Amino acid sequence: MAINVLIVDDSSVMRAMILKSLRMSGLPLGETHQSANGQEGLETLNRHWVDLVIADINMPVMTGEEMIDRMKEHPEMKDIPIVVISTEGSETRLEQLQRKGAAFIHKPFSPEKIRDTIKTIMKLGGSDDGTN
């Protein structure tokens, strides 16, 4: 199964770093889409089939947390797995995100951390090289 991924981050450099890490991870990548904020992310989700959302929290126009809330209200988006990659350090805020069903990766991250977190949240088995 190829995974279609949406990366939502206001930093183009960070989007490139996440994409590079995904390509290095050995996960079976399908289409990849990029958005610069939560609002653009929702628009992309309306236009494309996405299996996994990777999102930052602090973004202009619409935050990642608000985007997650909107996704949970939408019948066709509510079950899409979400991984939050952020600098957020407050345990209180992280617990809020986890209650919304999102997995969390703290910046700076390693490609291995991204791979392992995606495997867990998407319930992908198999070896570390991405084969099932």
Partner 1 sequence: MTEQIKETLCRVTGDVLEKLAFIFSFPEEGSEDTDYGSSLAASVSFAGPFTGTLVMAVSDDTLPELTGNMLGLDDSESTTAEQQHDALKELINVVCGNLLPVISGRQSIFNVNAPQIITENIASYLQSISEENGQLRAFAAKLSLDGGECDILLFIKGKFPPEDTE
Question: Under the criterion CB under 8 A, does residue 87 sit at the interface with partner 1?
Answer: yes
- Which of 43, 60, 74, 128: binder of partner 1 (CB under 8 A)? 60
Q: How many residues bind partner 1 (CB under 8 A)?
A: 22
Residue from 38, 88, 102, 115 binding partner 1 (CB under 8 A): 88
Burial of 130 (0-12, 13-18, 19+ CB in 10 A): middle
For tokens 């998407």, name the residue: 122
User: How far apart (Å, rounded) are the C-alpha atoms in residues 2 and 87?
Assistant: 29
Separation between Cα atoms, residue 29 and residue 25, nearest integer Å: 9
Contact with partner 1 (CB under 8 A): which of 1, 108, 125, 132?
108
Residues that bind partner 1 (CB under 8 A): 10-14, 16-17, 20, 58, 60, 86-93, 107-110
